[in-house]
Amino acid sequence: MVQIPTDADLLPPSDDHIFKTLLTNPNAGAVLKSVISAVLERPVLAVQIRNNELPVSDDDEKNERLDVNCVVDGGDQVDVEMQASHRVERSDDEYLSFINKSVYYLTDLHSSQKSKGVKYRDMVRTYQVTFCTHPVFPDWPEFVSNISLRRPTGELVSDQINMVIVEMSKLHALLKRPPESLTWLETWSVFFKFAPEPEHRDFINKIIALKEEVAMATELLMEISQDEHERARNRSRRMAEHDRYSDIATAEERGEIRGEIRGEIRGVIKGKIEGMTEILDLIKQGVSTDEILRKFSSQ
């Protein structure tokens, strides 16, 4: 039986590159089917992985690179992504870029299917599935959000385009439950989030003992983690991410300092202008120069 050793140093499946490497491994067919089945809440019998780059029809358009772009059971399109970091946004539109990006990928993937000679009623469904390490909907208590086209009453209008967001930052409560009580989606989410963390290794090993597909994923993850090339790439990505955040923090600090200096300069200029205005008023009132000098020298 596969178990993760106590001292094992695993690469994180919550890293988007490791996530993609794990799920697209030639030996990960059963793992990928299990993950997609858990998300779609229905058995998936066959998965075909496709090119992860969507065709670009306009030279001015962005080149979209998907993580795991696949077709399930010969029909529905599913893109499975791992979002391991996010850009800090303004508080009044928090995570708007993430949501808009997901919508853009979802609709572009849906419209990329062949439509010539196909009736609109026969077009396949498209799913954009994103596992996130950061919160997206802080006020929403559930860790899974299933988003589709619905009326204000909640009645489904169309199941053609579907967005599924899994917020792995909300999983800690699951660690207090018996492993056998977890749903498949809860199981996979916990594995992706906590597998590399030694403090949760006993819990993860219990899941591995219960679920054959998770045991398969564990074997593949340990194999990937022993690859020095993958470890070097992971270190490089972490350093680049750290440098990016450091640059942002430095730029913000410089901006604050510049703002303080501008504020001080404005204060000095404003004070001088107000002083000059007062002097002109005194002159207009016929106050002598000596009196004006005495007034301002005493301030």
| Sign, Cα dihedral of 185, 186, 187, 190 | positive
* Confidence at residue 40, expressed as pLDDT on a 0 to 100 scale: 95
* Confidence at residue 70, expressed as pLDDT on a 0 to 100 scale: 93
Write out pLDDT tens, residues 23-67.
999 999 999 999 999 999 999 999 999 876 644 444 444 445 668
Which of residues 24 and 114 earns the better pLDDT score?
24
Write out pLDDT tens, residues 130-185.
999 988 898 899 999 999 999 999 999 999 999 999 999 999 999 999 999 999 99
* Confidence at residue 130, expressed as pLDDT on a 0 to 100 scale: 95
* Confidence at residue 166, expressed as pLDDT on a 0 to 100 scale: 97
Write out pLDDT tens, residues 214-260.
999 999 999 999 988 777 776 766 665 655 545 545 655 666 666 67
**Lowest-pLDDT range, 124-133, 138-147, 266-275?**
266-275
